[in-house]
Amino acid sequence: MSLFSTEATEITSLRKLRDAEAQCTRCPLYRDATQVVPGEGPISAALMLVGEQPGNDEDLAGKPFVGPAGRVLDRALADAGLDRSKVFVTNAVKHFKFELRGKRRLHKRPNAYEIERCRWWLDLERAIVKPELVVALGATAARSLLNRTVSIAAVRGKILEAGDGMRLAVTIHPSYLLRIIERADKEQEYRRFVGDLRMCKQALREAA
Ligand code: SF4
């Protein structure tokens, strides 16, 4: 199946979406990655979390947020009283972008073109899952979802209304916490992250 012959209207289930994503050549990132990493979670999920892109572990496993950042996310969701198995977890960009340093594959941030090209899939995921609230984890996800560059500090801690009726919260990407060296700072930022997720849980409760 050629992606370019696939109409978005034909993609009405997560299984069809995964199959179509696996054929994607909309940007060059499919060439070097091991495989596409589709979103994962129940179609009935009220909450959708959107990260940046798969990392090395996710690229190998074919699943989102299974590496070190995923473990931080799991812990934070649990501390916020959210059950990951009920959340739809995905990324703004579905293939791993990296540069080789010897044998190591080091994460490389996706560029504006790649984010723009991959938004096609994120829009389809949102159309199929129809979450009540979407959470952008980090600036790349926020850029994809809002179609503009935003400062996380400027939009954090509130529920935004996007043009298409999407309700959106923006917080940090959990990998940010992994990069903080100072223990006290790390703990403080982690608590802030959990606070953001608690706010999302409360917003879902109010919408119910
Ligand atoms: S990153 Fe997204 S747009 Fe680019 S090839 Fe992969 S699935 Fe397609």
Structure tokens at 9: 């209207």
The predicted model gives 1-15 an average pLDDT of 69
Atom 7 of ligand 1: nearest residue by CA position = 94
CATH of the domain at 128: 3.40.470.10
The overall average pLDDT reported for the chain is 95
Q: Report which ligand 1 atom has the smallest distance to the Cα of 30.
A: 5
The predicted model gives 110-115 an average pLDDT of 98
Which of 5-9, 22-26, 35-39, 163-167 bottoms out in mean pLDDT, i.e. has the lowest? 5-9
Please list, in sequence order, all residues whose beta carbon lies within 8 angstroms of the beta carbon of residue 159, skipping any fewer than 6 positions away: 133, 167, 168, 169, 199, 203
pLDDT over 50 at 171, yes or no? yes
What are the backbone dihedrals phi and psi of residue 109, each rounded to the nearest 5 degrees, phi first?
-65, 135
Q: In testing the pocket of ligand 1, which one of 95, 107, 115 has its CB within 8 Å of the most ligand atoms? A: 95
Q: Report which ligand 1 atom has the smallest distance to the Cα of 3.
A: 8
Atom 4 of ligand 1: nearest residue by CA position = 27
In which domain, by residue range, is 100 found? 3-207
Look at the chain and report how many structural domains it folds into.
1
Return the SS3 of 86.
Answer: helix
Q: Which pLDDT band holds residue 6 (cuts at 50, 70, 90)?
A: low
Q: Which pLDDT value is given to residue 207?
A: 72
Euclidean distance between CA atoms 125 and 26, whole angstroms: 16
Residue whose tokens read 């050629």:
2
Structure tokens at 91: 């990324």
